[in-house]
Amino acid sequence: MAKILMVKPSCTNHYYLTTAAILSPPKAALSLSKSMAACSSFCPQRPLQFRRKPISSLPIKTQFSVQVKAFSSQESSAPPKDEIPARVGFLGLGIMGSPMAQNLIKAGCDVTVWNRTKSKCDTLISLGAKYKSSPEEVAASCDVTFAMLADPKSAVDVACGKHGAASGMSPGKGYVDVSTVDGETSKLISAHIKSTGALFLEAPVSGSKKPAEDGQLIFLTAGDKSLYETSAPLLDIMGKSRFYLGDVGNGAAMKLVVNMIMGSMMASFSEGLLLSEKVGLDPKVLVEVISQGAISAPMYSVKGPSMVQSLYPTAFPLKHQQKDLRLALGLAESVSQPTPIAAAANELYKVAKAHGLSDDDFSAVIEALKVKLQERP
Ligand SMILES: NC(=O)C1=CN([C@@H]2O[C@H](COP(=O)(O)OP(=O)(O)OC[C@H]3O[C@@H](n4cnc5c(N)ncnc54)[C@H](OP(=O)(O)O)[C@@H]3O)[C@@H](O)[C@H]2O)C=CC1
Ligand SMILES: O=CCCC(=O)O
């Protein structure tokens, strides 16, 4: 049995690990120090803080699959314990919202959930969540409420519509919108929330289904700094790092730029896979070659093998990737920035949507390149 010395308790369920004394076994020590080295090499300038779940909560065999988190250099110091939101609301329990809310519950937070399709609340309720029948009621009963919704329209409806979250907001409360929307939408929601005296933070995430399950998301936040600070312990349960980017709109813009790049990368990768096959190469070997070179990206290694088999298990729905490209193109147009590659990629995702692939993973965009021209609508 290995022993780890944890110091600087931050809340009842999590610890910041600033010093680790590993007595045995050596393999576990090696694994931990490798993870720490990986974090150091990722960003040598940043003051490192390491965190892992309490040992007692992990099954023995996973005790040393260490969950090390390297926090952004832009993080602030932990808020006093009495300022950490005690009652947490979560609106929107889709692919991302459900595991994020589950991680809050597993960490011991008092979580209240709502989802348009009520049945998606069942798993959360069985894990200990409370349920309210409208966003308004969730917001009224919680200190901070998170929202993880599909798109700008649903984000606005849930925050500002009839029985929306804004109706339950008041001074002392906070609303954290983690959906991917455009800056204008985020500013509209912010204005509604802030008109009640509550605070607003936009905090879209980088990272997909698996990072959401593993608490390894990257938060791109902007808005009220004090809400950023008080909700930081909650963000750290769900994520591995967080960036505070200033005024509302900057988090949304950062997220859209990242996803614009990702959408183009996937479209280009799809072309490469199909071209390699057409000229007689094994696309599986192409995936391996890419993984060893300068253009290596986890996305290619994770998605490539299933794309080669024409399988697209949904982690990031294709319809959301097309939405993000559409919003990114709008952002680019607003500042007259040419983005011809993203525009071409967007057309490909539109074709894929027209062929019924909206709810498949975004890697299904490759199917749009298999469609014969005369079959296109
Ligand atoms: N999946 C991913 O990898 C990532 C997704 N994102 C972003 O996160 C957000 C959520 O994504 P994801 O969880 O994958 O999406 P899902 O499609 O799985 O979930 C969407 C959620 O929005 C709700 N919703 C949709 N329309 C409405 C509406 N009109 N009123 C109320 N609720 C509505 C859905 O409710 P219902 O269950 O009733 O349909 C569901 O809870 C999106 O903005 C996406 O771009 C960000 C990072 C990664
Ligand atoms: O918005 C989706 C992002 C997916 C990812 O970052 O892997």
Please identify every residue annotated as catalytic.
255
| pLDDT of 355 strictly over 90 | yes
DSSP code of 56?
A: G
Q: What is the pLDDT of residue 72?
A: 52
Q: Whose CA is nearest to atom 48 of ligand 1?
A: 208
Q: What is the pLDDT of residue 50?
A: 38
Cα separation, 242 vs 264, in Å, equals 24
DSSP code of 12?
A: S
Asked if ipTM goes beyond 0.90, one says yes
Comparison of pLDDT for 148 and 78, the residue scoring more: 148
Is residue 157 packed enough to be buried (19+ CB in 10 Å), middle (13-18) or exposed (0-12)? middle
Substitution candidate for ligand 2 out of 205, 208, 213, 325 with most atoms within 8 A of CB:
208
pLDDT more than 90, % of the chain: 75
Model pTM?
0.84
Q: What is the pLDDT of residue 37?
A: 33
Residue 99 beta carbon below 6 angstroms from any ligand 1 atom: no
Whose atoms come closest to the Cα of 151: which ligand? 1
Distance 40 CA to ligand 1 centre (A): 34
Cα separation, 68 vs 70, in Å, equals 7
Mean pLDDT of 119-138: 98
Residue 223 beta carbon below 6 angstroms from any ligand 1 atom: no
Distance 319 CA to ligand 2 centre (A): 13
pLDDT more than 70, % of the chain: 77
The set of protein residues with a Cβ atom below 6 angstroms from ligand 2 is 180, 206-208, 259, 316
The closest of 262, 92, 261, 240 to 177, measured between CA atoms, is 92
Residue 283 beta carbon below 6 angstroms from any ligand 1 atom: no
Q: Whose CA is nearest to atom 30 of ligand 1?
A: 154
Cα separation, 88 vs 109, in Å, equals 7
Distance 48 CA to ligand 1 centre (A): 33
Count other Cβ atoms within 10 Å, centred on residue 121.
22
Integer angstrom CA distances of residue 39 from 34, 65, 70, 82, 149: 9, 15, 6, 31, 31
Using the atom order of ligand 1, give the atom closest to the CA of residue 204.
Answer: 46
81-246 and 253-375, same CATH topology: no
Whose atoms come closest to the Cα of 150: which ligand? 1
Q: 310, 277 in Cβ contact below 8 A?
A: no
Distance 7 CA to ligand 2 centre (A): 33
Mean pLDDT of 292-319: 98
Please provide the average confidence, as pLDDT, over all residues in the chain: 84
| Domain 253-375 CATH class label | mainly alpha
Integer angstrom CA distances of residue 371 from 106, 196, 233, 309, 365: 45, 51, 47, 16, 11
| pLDDT of 5 strictly over 80 | no
Q: 264, 115 in Cβ contact below 8 A?
A: no
Is residue 353 packed enough to be buried (19+ CB in 10 Å), middle (13-18) or exposed (0-12)? buried
Q: 215, 237 in Cβ contact below 8 A?
A: yes
Angle 280-286-288 (CA atoms, 0-180°, nearest 5)?
145
pLDDT confidence band for 85 (50 / 70 / 90): confident
Residue 116 beta carbon below 6 angstroms from any ligand 1 atom: yes
Backbone angles phi, psi at 239, to 5 degrees: -135, 170
Cα separation, 377 vs 371, in Å, equals 11
CATH code of the domain occupying 81-246: 3.40.50.720
Backbone angles phi, psi at 175, to 5 degrees: -125, 125
Residue 93 beta carbon below 6 angstroms from any ligand 1 atom: yes
| pLDDT of 331 strictly over 60 | yes
Q: What is the pLDDT of residue 305?
A: 98
Q: What is the pLDDT of residue 41?
A: 30
Mean pLDDT of 298-319: 98
Mean pLDDT of 23-50: 34
Q: Whose CA is nearest to atom 6 of ligand 1?
A: 180
Whose atoms come closest to the Cα of 152: which ligand? 1
Question: Where do the structural domains in the chain lie, given as residue ranges?
Answer: 1-70, 81-246, 253-375
| pLDDT of 66 strictly over 90 | no
Distance 91 CA to ligand 2 centre (A): 19
